[in-house]
Structure 1
Amino acid sequence: MADRRSRPQLHPAAWWLWALGLGTAATRTSNPLLLGLLLAVSAYVVAVCRPDTPWARSYAAFLRLALAVLVVRIVFVVVLGSPIPGTHVLVTLPEVPLPHWAQGIRLGGAVTAEGLLFALYDALRLATLLVCVGAANALASPSRLLKTLPGALYETGVAVVVAMTFAPNLIADVHRLRAARRLRGRPDRGVRGLLQVGLPVLEGALERSVALAAAMDARGYGRTADVPAPVRRTTAALTLGGLLGVCAGTYGLLTAAGGAYGLPVLLTGVVAALAGLRLGGRRSPRTRYRPDRWTPRACLVAASGVTVAALLVAAASADPAALHPGVVPLTAPALPLWPAAAVLIGLLPAFVSEEPS
């Protein structure tokens, strides 16, 4: 395998399209076997393709966040109960009586296997979505992603990228300081170690903020070009109208009555919004040094994620029972074969992301 530092990197938007495709597929099913397969696919691709960079280490943090989501959801079901009726009682907790205005809420009581399974399936879907977003953060360079944004979204993109890079840099600082303390024979765990590591991490974050502000000021961040008033009004009308069209078209596609007009309105809104962003870019002129290109490999990576999403959406419409197994009565979920095969298409980036030697 080639050195990860010298490995050619794909277009960052390709990784985000791939990850969002897997995340979209996760939202279309509550089958734990399919969700586990999506987790395995994303983990394998990250293990094979992620570069040796600070932001690539954020994947472990997203895994911990996903695990925390599972634990919190289960705790809520145990403490507050579940709306799912069940007959398999696992444990009965002391129930706290509540006033009449809190009717419908309970504290304690019977904890059933059906309620726990329903909560687990529901939380696993959100956890899978978080892990897919973490995979995109680990594989795509935030600074290179910022370079691909149109000029109209540059300021917003800078704010988003700064927010996205905060967690990876923080994690890298914690790892570096803990390693330094271990080399000096000092404790790096427990409350004492956390307090002694936290202050240098905070100091480093403040220093980076000051350096970033100075760099942005030196590069003229926030400057705008003079644009005629008619162009500004046209830009605002196209952007606002396009966004309204996207919302109306999406609503039409999601409802049975709007199937006839949903797709045309959605496409019209997308075209209008893109035209507005194109015109809005005149107000914030930007040049790009060595812009990222959409290579055939990047297109394959993006297409694999989109294909997984499209096939899972089709499967959810064709056989909803297979993708949403019930918990009443209590039965083991089955693995639907062709949706599982569709998820495996998401492994394609692990084989095409590197150039052949």
Structure 2
Amino acid sequence: MPRTLHPGAWWLWGIGLATAASRTTNPLLLGLVLAVLALVVSERRTDAPWARGFRYYLWLALAVIAIRVVFRCVFASGITPTDHILFSLPHIPTPAWYAGIQLGGPVSLEATLSAAVDGLRLACLLCCIGAANTLANPKRALRVLPGALYELGVAVTVSMSVAPQLVESVQRVGKARRLRADRAKGLRALRSILIPVLEDALERSLYLAAAMDSRGYGRSGTATRAARRGTAALMLAGMLGLCTGVYGLLDGTTPRALGLPALLGGSLLCCAGLALGGRRVRRTSYRPDPWRGPEWAVAGAGIATAVLLFLTVGYDAAGLNPGLYPLRWPTLPWLPAAAILLAGTAAVTAPPPPARTPRSPAAPARTATPASEALL
């Protein structure tokens, strides 16, 4: 039946795909990630304002790739004799204290492709977060956060909804300009669009501030100073433990005590801090979002994709990061590709979104009166 999926499932799916994209520099796999994101978003997005912003994330991804390539061409360095030179830029001499950085000079094909692949990986990460933000309702995601993170969640939700609201304001102002037969384009139309959009953003911010103040946002309530300090100390120690544990797991030269034990200890401290801080926040939930089979399928597909590309079991890990020396077309490892396609099953396992609200039928045409007939 049509319904909206739990926002936590979409975020787990998006984070899993982002983890998988961060593990590879193979352009074929990264392109497959973008294709899966586009398929799922096109099939399961709603008509809400925040669901219309995925194309802007795609434009941002293209801008990231272009900027990365331009910087690599301007700051040309590390050119080997075997590189294929595309063109040469004017060389700008640098002082002695700026040694190691070259401005201008020859630009090779290998360096340009390396910059493009690095930019493509960052673009995939942005699109994964953008897809989760497009598919998940940020206001419903706020309800599933622990009580201790409620205030932080409100701030994050407000910041994430700024871009969709600006997009909606720009579209509304554009429609108003077309109704008024305003055909100005380019820089001349910027003033007629920018001022109404800024005024709308300011008005919404004032309404939001009044609503948050009326609901007691930021007030400590009945929590004592000792309880607040204890919560802050537990959260700080837990975050330090998590950072230490992640560093210990990623770096094989560190002692074992800095790996999994530190990660587990930090997790326990964070859970204790969340439980202690959640006591001072009392919230009720009206019609809580269910977690059913489709949620397990979507979240499991994203997590399975991340695990398969993280463990590198059953395939050659060199296929995830192909080299550019010698220059050749990268191969597509079948198991990572199948893992990414597994994440694409969310377009089928997730329930379809609710249908659009049908518009009211058009009013019947009025019968012409004798006066109107005389005018005609």
Same-fold call, TM > 0.5? yes
Query: Which residues in structure 2 correspond to 1:328-339 (within 5 Å)?
Result: 328-339=325-336
**3-state SS of the aligned residue for 1:109?**
strand
CA shift in 2, pair 1:334/1:84, >3 Å = farther
| Counterpart residue number, 2:358 | none
Q: Which amino acid aligns with 1:133?
A: I
Q: Bigger CA drift: 65-74 or 254-263?
A: 254-263
- Which residue of 42, 46, 49 maps to 1:54? 49
Partner of 1:345: 342
Q: Which amino acid aligns with 2:20?
A: A
Q: Aligned match of 1:168 in 164, 168, 180? A: 164
Please give the alpha-carbon distance, in whole angstroms, between the structure 1 residues aligned to 2:353 and 2:59. Answer: 34
* Larger deviation, residues 305-314 vs 216-225: 216-225
Task: State the partner residue of 1:148.
Answer: 144
Letter in 2 for 1:54: P
Q: Which residue of 2 aligns with 1:244?
A: 240
Distance in 2, matches of 1:183 and 1:231, equals: 58
User: Aligned partners of 1:196 and 1:145: how far apart in 2?
Assistant: 35
Deviation per residue, 1:138-162 (Å, 9 max, x gap): 1011111111111111111111111
The whole-number CA distance in structure 1 between the counterparts of 2:159 and 2:327 is: 43
| Deviation of the 1:197 alpha carbon | 0.6
Per the alignment, residue 72 of structure 2 pairs with: 77
Kept in 2: contact 1:223–1:284 (CA 8 A) = no
**Contact 1:89–1:112 (8 Å) recurs in 2:** yes
Alpha-carbon contact 1:188-1:197 (below 8 Å) kept? no
Q: CA separation in 2, counterparts of 1:259 and 1:340?
A: 34
Aligned to 2:288, which of 284, 288, 291? 291
Q: Does the 8 A contact of 2:21 with 2:125 survive in 1? A: yes
Larger Rg computed on CA atoms: 2
Aligned match for 1:272, one of 269, 272, 275: 269
Q: Secondary structure at the match of 2:221?
A: coil
What is the CA distance between 1:316 and its match in structure 2? 8.3
What is the SS of the residue equivalent to 1:110? strand
Match of 1:64 among 59, 66, 78: 59
Q: 2:11 aligns with which of 8, 16, 25?
A: 16
Give the fraction of aligned pairs with identical amino acids, expressed as a percent: 53
Question: Secondary structure of 1:287's partner?
Answer: coil
Partner of residue 208, structure 1: 204
Moved more, 216-225 or 328-337: 216-225
Q: What letter is aligned with 1:349?
A: A
Consecutive unaligned residues in structure 2, runs of 5 or more? 355-376
In 2 relative to 1, CA 244–178 (structure 1 residues): closer, same or farther, beyond 3 Å? same
Counterpart Cα distance in 2 of 1:61 and 1:237: 40
Q: Which residue of 2 aligns with 1:112?
A: 108
Equivalent residue of 1:345, what SS? helix
The one-character-per-residue Cα deviations of 1:278-330 (angstroms, maximum 9, x if unpaired) are 11011222222222222221121111111111111122896332111111221
Contact 2:77–2:101, Cα closer than 8 Å, also in 1: no
User: Separation in 2 of the partners of 1:76 and 1:226?
Assistant: 54
Aligned equivalents of 1:37 and 1:155: distance in 2?
37
Equivalent residues of 1:67, 1:127 under 8 A apart: yes
How many residue pairs are counted as aligned between the two chains? 352
Tell me the residue number matched to 2:351. Answer: 354
Q: Is the 8 A contact 1:253 1:259 kept in 2?
A: no
- Give yes or no for contact 1:21–1:308 (8 Å, CA) kept in 2: yes
1:99 counterpart residue number:
95
Q: Match of 1:44?
A: 39
- Give me the whole-angstrom Cα distance separating, in 1, the residues matched to 2:133 and 2:65: 21
Distance 2:238 2:67 in 1: 39
1:245-260 equivalences under 5 Å are: 245-258=241-254, 260=256
For the structure 1 residues 307 and 321, does the alpha-carbon distance in structure 2 shift closer, same or farther, using more than 3 Å as the test?
same
Output one character per residue of 1:21-42: Cα deviation in whole Å (capped at 9) or x when no partner. 1111111000000000000001
Q: Deviations over 1:179-231 (max 9, x none)?
A: 22223322263111222111100000001001111111222222333235654
What is the aligned partner in structure 2 of residue 322 from structure 1? 319
The letter of the residue matching 1:127 is: A
User: 1:107-132: CA deviations, max 9, x gaps?
Assistant: 22111100001001111000000011
Seen in structure 2, the aligned counterparts of structure 1 residues 67 and 264 have a Cα distance that, compared at 3 Å, is same
Q: Secondary structure at the match of 1:181?
A: helix
Q: Look up the SS of the partner of 1:90 in the other structure.
A: strand
- Matched with 2:307 is 310
* Compared CA separation, residues 152 and 205, structure 1 to 2 (3 A): same
Give the AA of the match of 2:3: P
- Aligned CA RMSD, in angstroms, stands at 2.1
Q: Distance in 1 between matches of 2:52 and 2:245?
A: 38
Normalised TM-score (structure 1)? 0.93
Partners of 2:314 and 2:95 in 1: CA distance = 43
Distance 2:89 2:313 in 1: 37
Distance of aligned partners of 1:198 and 1:316 in 2 relative to their CA distance in 1, 3 Å threshold: farther
Deviation at 1:12, TM superposition (A): 0.7
- Contact 2:142–2:150 at 8 Å: present in 1 too? yes
User: Which one of 197, 215, 219 corresponds to residue 193 of structure 2?
Assistant: 197
SS in 2 for 1:212: helix
